Amino acid sequence: MTWWREAVVYQVYVRSFADSDGDGVGDLDGVRSRLGYLELLGVDALWLTPFYTSPMADHGYDVADPRDVDPVFGDLAAFDRLVTAAHEHGLRVLVDLVPNHTSDRHEWFRAALDAAPGSPERARYHFRPGRGPDGDEPPNNWSSVFGGPAWTRVSDGEWYLHLFATGQPDLNWTNPEVWADLEKTLRFWLDRGVDGFRIDVAHGMSKPEGLPDSVAAVRTGLLTGGRDGDPRFDDEGVHDVHRMIRAVVDHYPGRVTVGEISVQDNARFGRYLRPDELHLGFNSRLLQAPFTATAVRRAVEQSLASTAAVSATPTWALGSHDVSRPVTRYGGGEQGTWRARAMALLTLALPGTVVVYNGEELGLPDAEIPDEALQDPQWERSGHTQRGRDGFRVPVPWEGGAPGYGFTTGVPWLPMPDGYGRLTVAEQLEDTRSSLSLLRRAVELRRTHPGFTGTDVEWFGAPVGCLAFRRTGSTLVCALNTSTDVVPLPPGDLLLSSRSLDDDLLPPDTAAWLA
Ligand code: NOJ
């Protein structure tokens, strides 16, 4: 069963989706209460960001117990209710898996701190003596993705490795206990009925022996890791971890794994998608491409090249909880909105799986968050030079005209802007020209129109600043105009456009589907 090859997956940032109990934080019962909306949207599956027990140093990507639910999100019974209800709505459920690190409140890390250097408790993580005469310099020169050194010193003088926040110690994947524990976690959720996993930092886990200094200057940042010469990521040993995961998942037919793979080289990226590793993988090419036909075409071509070599299915995303929202990235305001709509049509025309991040269907821009309300660890770790990701994690506005907007009856965990009223789900469902209506129609056509076949694309000649492609062997053509001129459309009957045509011509910042 390969339902995921042409699926639309909706990313639910659980904290920000729907709050059922008025504490201002989204939760699992909240997600369940909105399944009807996801069914209406026509998506095939939802991916839930981490809802496990966590002190929330990185909003759940610091997991203290991977086999339990944090009380802020509900409990295991709420999870079971959600999975049952989702399946009744015809929606599959993917959960996030965080195998690279734990929380510093995980019982293993607490035990490691209580134990002596060299103990088995410390051997589940990367503890090392420091450098310099007093050992007061970090064991190597690696930096944390969130800024600052990747090492923190503990009271007896040893240091521990954390590629992300201080509260996210990296696990030692040469330790068999670490493998056994992940296997247990996989079975735990598979036995509860999940349909697959999104795997966090899928290019992490394994570290080079001896943890050598990085020779090349390494850039920090979530999207820019994994470049050549960065010893922190993409170590050969990681592929054995994926083979183990796949072997477990293969016992449960129809389940899928999708990795976050921040590896820039196409051939190295593709290796994660070999037949005995991950089914799908995100890359960050479209997330980083500016709104120009050249950059977009290049991102698509590179992504297709990275999967074609291993006959894998490409995965497309324009946003996530880690990157500025498309409307803002493409320039903001009305123009940013038109461009984001155009790019949504482009991704939904491509062969493969498409992931839509909650709020993207509403055309939400990034929100401005005042300094005192910022929560992302990036803000503190960068010495207040990077504002972090809170602006694109603001709760989803469902209805009404005042902050809360049907997301919560309490105070939302991040302030919701005053101007969200016109962007709410309720408003947009009523308006056939809204971003939400466009996405619904596009997802519906993608599911019902016979043109959405073919696993590759053929490019056509197009006016300067434009691109046009057809899915191989099919009649579906997608044209995108990133120029400032109105341009003629390729031949064919118009199926859908991201903005009204201008006398049968394609306006700037617009995409169209023809068949
Ligand atoms: C990638 C996740 O998407 C991000 O939100 C998180 O901070 C890091 N991995 C660390 O777990």
440-483 pLDDT tens trace: 999 999 999 999 999 899 999 999 999 999 999 898 999 999 99
474 CB burial (10 A radius; 0-12, 13-18, 19+) = middle
Strand partners, 70: none
Q: CA-to-CA distance for 514 and 124, rounded, in angstroms?
A: 55
Task: Pull the structure tokens for residue 245.
Answer: 């995961």
CA of 17 to the centre of ligand 1 (A): 18
CA of 272 to the centre of ligand 1 (A): 18
CATH 3.20.20.80 assigned to domain 3-99+176-440? The reply is: yes
Strands 92-97 and 196-199: parallel
Q: What percentage of the chain's residues is helix, strand, coil (to nearest 5)? A: 30, 15, 50
CA of 492 to the centre of ligand 1 (A): 43
**pLDDT tens digits, one per residue of 55-75:** 999 999 999 999 999 999 999
Q: In the chain, which residues fall in CATH 3.20.20.80? A: 3-99+176-440
Count of CB atoms within 10 A of residue 161's CB? Answer: 26
Which of 27, 29, 158, 260 is catalytic? The answer is: 260
CATH 3.40.50.150 assigned to domain 101-170? The reply is: no
User: What residues contact residue 205 under an 8 Å CB cut-off, 6+ apart?
Assistant: 99, 100, 171, 173, 235, 237, 238, 241
Q: In the chain, which residues fall in CATH 2.60.40.1180? A: 453-514
Is pLDDT above 90 for 228? no
pLDDT of residue 217: 62
Secondary structure class of 362 (helix, strand, coil): helix
CATH fold group of domain 453-514: Immunoglobulin-like (2.60.40)
Which one has a higher pLDDT value, 146 or 154?
A: 154
Rounded mean pLDDT, 46-51: 98
Ligand 1 atom 11 nearest Cα: 61
Q: Is 121 a catalytic residue?
A: no
- Do residues 265 and 204 lie in contact, with contact meaning Cβ atoms separated by under 8 Å? no
Q: Is 260 a catalytic residue?
A: yes
**pLDDT tens digits, one per residue of 92-151:** 999 999 999 999 999 999 999 999 999 999 999 999 999 999 999 999 999 999 888 999
pLDDT of residue 380: 86
Q: Quick one: CA torsion of 490, 496, 498, 502, rounded to 10 degrees?
A: 60
Which of 27, 200, 322, 509 is catalytic? The answer is: 200
Rounded mean pLDDT, 198-216: 94
Q: Which of 61, 223, 320 to mutate to test the pocket of ligand 1 (most atoms within 8 A of CB)?
A: 61
Q: In the chain, which residues fall in CATH 3.90.400.10? A: 101-170
Query: Is the pTM value of this prediction over 0.85?
Result: yes
